[in-house]
Amino acid sequence: MSINYFDRRIIKSKKAMRDALISLMQEKDFKDITIMEIVETAELNRGTFYKHYQYKEDLLNEMIDEVITDLIESYREPYKNIDLFEVNNLTTSAIKIFDHVSKYANFYSLIFQSETLNGFERKLCTVLKDLALNDLIDCFPKPSINPELHASYQAYAILGLIIEWISGGFKYSPSYMAEQLLEILKHNQINSLVKIKQ
């Protein structure tokens, strides 16, 4: 059997367990979920679980890491491989953050249902704030504006849109949300040129 076959099988097993965990967390608290319930819902055996994880928390943490990694990639998409990023030239198709949320819709919906993910909103904000601070340099900075506070404002503004979208049951498409974000950015932006940190 080829390595690719085993790789695909591992990916498939892990996805089944992640999906099972999300499904179970929609019904009960994480602390009340057993490993047996996870594998039964995933239609796998306990041995498969223990090949990859020691505890159910390991599965949850891996899931969170995957979401965060994909979020970072989605956020960076509009300015990937460029030196200067002009907000006024940004297109809705370049904004991928809402496609990311849509891709992990079940997971994001859990933020509002599960106490286990209470700290996730704060983690999301920290990630978005760090991206704004570490990736981008304002070409026309205003000395009176604190960069950390400005990055926090941006992070919470994006998270606010995401929360509103989730709370409304994803009634708008990802492209509509991207369009709205772009319109808001253009409306708020006075100096809309930022340099990408190398």
Q: Is the pLDDT of residue 194 over 90?
A: no
> Chain centroid to CA 75: how far?
9
Closest CA to 40 of 21, 59, 55: 21
pLDDT tens-place string over residues 93-123: 899 999 999 999 999 998 876 677 778 888 9
Residues 74 and 172 grouped into a single domain: yes
Residues 42 and 130 grouped into a single domain: no
Q: Quick one: CA dihedral 180, 172, 121, 95, positive or negative?
A: negative
pLDDT tens-place string over residues 3-26: 576 678 888 999 999 999 999 999
Residues 170 and 75 grouped into a single domain: yes
Residues 123 and 156 grouped into a single domain: yes
Q: Is the pLDDT of residue 190 over 60?
A: no
d(CA 13, CA 2): 17
d(CA 129, CA 102): 21
* Whole-prediction pTM: 0.85
Residues 46 and 78 grouped into a single domain: no
pLDDT score at 5: 62
Residue that wins the pLDDT comparison between 82 and 16: 16
Residues 168 and 187 grouped into a single domain: yes
Residues 129 and 32 grouped into a single domain: no
CATH code of the domain in which 40 resides: 1.10.10.60
Residues 45 and 68 grouped into a single domain: no
Domain count, the chain: 2
**Segments forming the whole domain that contains residue 114:** 62-196
Residues 138 and 75 grouped into a single domain: yes
Tell me the DSSP string of 51-74.
HH-SSHHHHHHHHHHHHHHHHHHH
Q: Hey, what amino acid is at 143?
A: P
Give bridge partners of residue 196 from the DSSP assignment. Answer: 136
Residues 125 and 43 grouped into a single domain: no
